[in-house]
Amino acid sequence: MATRAADLLTLTPQGLYCPGGDFHVDPTRPVERALITHGHSDHARSGHGHVMATAETLAIMAVRYGSDFAGGAQEAVLGEVMRIGDVLVTFVPAGHVLGSAQIVIEQGKCRLVVSGDYKRGRDPTCLPYEPVRCDVFITEATFGLPVFRHPDARAETDKLIESARLFPERAHIVGAYALGKAQRVMALLREAGYDRPIYLHGAMERLTSFYKEQGVGLGDTPRVAPDERPKLAGEIVICPPSAIQEIWARKFPDPVTAFASGWMRVRARARQKGVELPLVISDHCDWDDLCRSILETGAGEVWVTHGQEDALVHWCLSRGIKARPLHLLGYGDEEGDADVVPGEAEGGDLPSPLRGGSTAEGRRGGGQDEDVSTLEPHLAPPPPGSASPSPPSPQGGGDQ
């Protein structure tokens, strides 16, 4: 009998688990054997027994957590098919950040792809995403709403360069995630011909050096010395998102606060962070690319790990593709908070690896075997602005 996808990959309190190979993918708590898609701290955590990942991802984990980040580590070569237990495993580029990979798991005639985080937009700092035909595609949905359409990232960095030219008396402080986004912004600035030094907050330094060692050309990127700040009028400074509103940023001359993120597409979010120059640059797929990628895999079934699951599941169902949300907690959160906060500023780890773990169990109750149709009621949102104190019923409503 043919292998069923649900047997090939299941959910445990630690996350996605492959019984045939006895390993987890991007587990949110320490496990014996972990396959890691990429180096962001919500996917790559320390403390596992054995870790398999691309060489770059392993190196990033070592940079972040120290060389003893796991009991043992094994490099996965992109495109190379490996046998683990009863299953075949292949790592394929995901285009998210340097070293990011999708993980293809096969048994019998059933092929399943755990895409991790991925994007289709051009990025000079990493290998591009490669579509893989499969039966089940496991996708994120960080920007899984049709309001998210990322513009060309080059136009966004042009805005930054233009603003720096227009306001030579002001420093431009750009918030960007320390792994991937920061280096992509720098690379795009260089491509656009920006040849001034790009100043770095201390928290960006180690990973930026690592990118340079890997051959990504980022030019002169000095670290900002504290007493130098008042002198950086007209310069571009890159810092973790959390730093743009800290006292650290106020010491610059009349700073223009910019933030490079897909969230900047929504005005309220930019304003709420006090951002004056929103740069819509994302390392995730926008809505169009999520939909396109799902179609290109030819998958008959889609599992959505995290983000705006409801909309993407609905879109799949309306196209006749089976789909279900996994409601995995601990990844990104739907606000991308985990990416913002991972203690990168001080080089620390996520404070609690258990974050969301216990609630994940409570919510799963039977979700494993849930028929797709029973998910339908979850899709009905309460009408916006509804003043009714009655919440949507867990049973699926209809009684309101």
Partner 1 sequence: MNRFAHLIDRIGYEPRRNAKIRLMADYFRHTPDPERGFALAALTGALSFRHAKPNLIRGLMAERSDPVLFGLSWDYVGDLSETVALMWRAPDDTAPLPAIGHNNPPEPLDASGEPVALEGPLPHVPSLSEVVEGLATAGKTELPRLLATWLDALDETGRWALLKLITSELRIGVSARLAKTAVASLGDLDPDEIEHVWHGLAPPYEELFAWVEGRGPRPEGENPAPFRPPMLAHPVEEEDLARLDAAEFMAEWKWDGIRLQAATGRDGHGRLVRRIYSRTGEDVSGAFPDLVEALDFEATLDGELLILRDGRVQSFNVLQQRLNRKVVTPKMLLEYPAHLRCYDILAEDGEDLRHLPFAERRKRLEAFVARLGEPRIDVSPLVPFSTWGELAVARADPASAGAGLDADAIEGCMLKRADSPYLPGRPKGPWWKWKRDPFLVDAVMMYAQRGHGKRSSFYSDYTFGVWRDGPEGEELVPVGKAYSGFTDQELLKLDRFVRNNTVNRFGPVREVTYGFDRGLVLEVAFEGLQRSTRHKSGVAMRFPRINRIRWDKPAREADRIEYLERILQKGETELHPMRKAG
Give the binding site for partner 1 (CB under 8 A): 120-122, 145-153, 265-272, 274-278, 286-289, 291-292, 295, 308, 310-311, 314-315, 318-319, 327, 329, 333, 335, 355-356, 359, 362-363, 378-385, 387-392, 394
Nearer to partner 1, 234 or 397 (CB): 397
Cβ 346 to partner 1, closest distance in Å?
20
Cβ 141 to partner 1, closest distance in Å?
11
Nearer to partner 1, 102 or 257 (CB): 257
Q: Tell me which residue of 277, 271, 234 sits closest to 258, measured CA to CA.
A: 277
Cβ 138 to partner 1, closest distance in Å?
19
Nearer to partner 1, 93 or 121 (CB): 121
Contacts (Cβ under 8 Å, ≥6 apart) of 271: none
Phi and psi at residue 211, in whole multiples of 5°?
Answer: -60, -45
Tokens found for residue 321 = 């593709």
Nearer to partner 1, 93 or 278 (CB): 278
CA dist., res. 391 & res. 170, Å (int): 48
Q: Cβ–Cβ contacts within 10 Å for residue 154, how many?
A: 14
CA dist., res. 39 & res. 240, Å (int): 16
Tokens found for residue 97 = 């950040």
Give SS3 for 384: coil
Tell me how many helices (H) and strands (E) the chain has.
11, 18
Tokens found for residue 48 = 């596992």
Nearer to partner 1, 199 or 331 (CB): 331
Cβ 286 to partner 1, closest distance in Å?
5
CA dist., res. 255 & res. 258, Å (int): 9
Q: Which residues pair with 145 in a beta bridge?
A: none
Give SS3 for 82: strand
Q: Tell me which residue of 236, 40, 224, 48 sits closest to 140, measured CA to CA.
A: 40
Nearer to partner 1, 75 or 288 (CB): 288
Q: Are 183 and 238 in contact (CB under 8 A)?
A: no
Cβ 357 to partner 1, closest distance in Å?
11
Nearer to partner 1, 6 or 266 (CB): 266
CA dist., res. 49 & res. 37, Å (int): 16
Nearer to partner 1, 215 or 383 (CB): 383
CA dist., res. 196 & res. 218, Å (int): 11
Segments of the chain assigned E as strands = 10-12, 15-18, 23-25, 33-35, 48-53, 70-75, 82-84, 87-93, 101-107, 110-114, 136-141, 172-175, 198-200, 236-239, 256-260, 277-279, 301-307, 322-325
Nearer to partner 1, 107 or 257 (CB): 257
Nearer to partner 1, 66 or 391 (CB): 391
Cβ 396 to partner 1, closest distance in Å?
9
Cβ 161 to partner 1, closest distance in Å?
17
Cβ 76 to partner 1, closest distance in Å?
26
Cβ 200 to partner 1, closest distance in Å?
25
CA dist., res. 8 & res. 23, Å (int): 11
Cβ 206 to partner 1, closest distance in Å?
29
Contacts (Cβ under 8 Å, ≥6 apart) of 165: none
